[in-house]
């Protein structure tokens, strides 16, 4: 009978380890409001330190994005030519052509080939001029953009249920790993207890 009970010890310890880590994860978010009085009150880590967490996340996002020239790099990957070619086509065909053909002599010299060459020239010039302008705008935005405050406001605007669901979606696998790690460690602790009892002669 003793061996039957002892054989259950590792599984009981595994359950306790799993349950302890499960409770610890839940206590990150609950209770929502403080329970108790004064120093003896308890509250979930996220609800209690929500403002600090939002501030830290805003600081991290701002530091990582702005120090890595994020906006400049993203704008540098945009292919401007198709967009500027459409603009050049609109300027030459819709704006300029409608004005030129009204001039009696000048309108006779306008041909599809000349318009195409004009579109190509306008596209090249706009790409050459616009790219430095966008890079300068990106630098100005990185210096003036209140990214930390924006992130902090967004996080504080979330309901606690929304924030909890968002964190669970991101860290779902990690939370499960923590729970199973508690179960594994609990199982090993149970085996160690059996071995200690055996070597100390308390069981035979």
Mean pLDDT per 10-residue section of the chain, whose length is 204 residues = 75 94 91 80 86 85 68 73 81 66 54 76 82 76 74 85 87 92 94 84 68
- HEC sequence for the chain: CHHHHHHHHHHHHHHHHHHHHHHHHHCCCCCCCCECCHHHCECCHHHHCHHHHHHHHHHHHHHHHHHCCHHHHHHHCCCCHHHHHHHHHHHHHHHHHHHHCCCCCHHHHCCHHHHHHHHHHHHHHHHHHHHHHHHHHHHHHHHHCCHHHHHHHHHHHCCHHHHHHHHHHHHHHHHHHHHHHHHHHHHHHHHHHHHHHHHCCCCC
pLDDT computed for residue 96 by the predictor: 67
Per DSSP, 91 falls in state: I
φ, ψ of residue 42 in degrees (nearest 5):
-125, 150
Q: CA–CA distance from 99 to each of 28, 55, 59 (Å)?
A: 68, 56, 54
Check residue 139 and give its pLDDT.
72
CB distance 177 to 72 below 8 Å: no
Which helix (DSSP H) or strand (DSSP E) does residue 152 occupy? helix 147-157
pLDDT digits (tens, 9 = 90+) for 37-62: 777 788 888 888 888 888 888 888 77
Output the pLDDT for position 14: 94
Neighbouring C-beta atoms of residue 87, cutoff 10 Å: 16
Instruction: Name the pTM for this structure.
Output: 0.58
Nearest to 96 by CA among 114, 83, 82: 114
């Amino acid at each position: 009978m003793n061996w039957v009970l002892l054989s259950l010890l590792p599984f009981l310890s595994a359950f306790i380890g799993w349950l302890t880590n499960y409770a610890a994860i839940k206590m990150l978010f609950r209770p929502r409001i403080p329970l108790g009085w004064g120093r003896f009150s308890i509250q979930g880590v996220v609800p209690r330190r929500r403002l600090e967490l939002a501030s830290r996340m805003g600081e991290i996002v701002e530091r990582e994005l702005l120090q890595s020239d994020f906006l400049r790099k993203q704008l540098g990957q945009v292919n401007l030519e198709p967009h500027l070619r459409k603009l050049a086509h609109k300027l030459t065909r819709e704006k300029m052509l409608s004005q030129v053909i009204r001039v009696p002599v000048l309108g006779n010299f306008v041909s599809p080939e000349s318009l195409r060459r004009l579109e190509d020239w306008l596209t090249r010039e706009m790409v050459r001029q616009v790219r430095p302008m966008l890079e300068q705008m990106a630098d100005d935005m990185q210096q003036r953009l209140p990214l930390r405050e924006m992130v902090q406001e967004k996080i504080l605007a979330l309901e606690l249920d929304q924030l909890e669901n968002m964190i669970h979606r991101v860290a779902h696998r990690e939370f499960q790993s923590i729970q199973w790690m508690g179960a594994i460690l609990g199982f090993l602790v149970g085996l160690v207890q059996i071995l200690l009892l055996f070597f100390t002669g308390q069981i035979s």
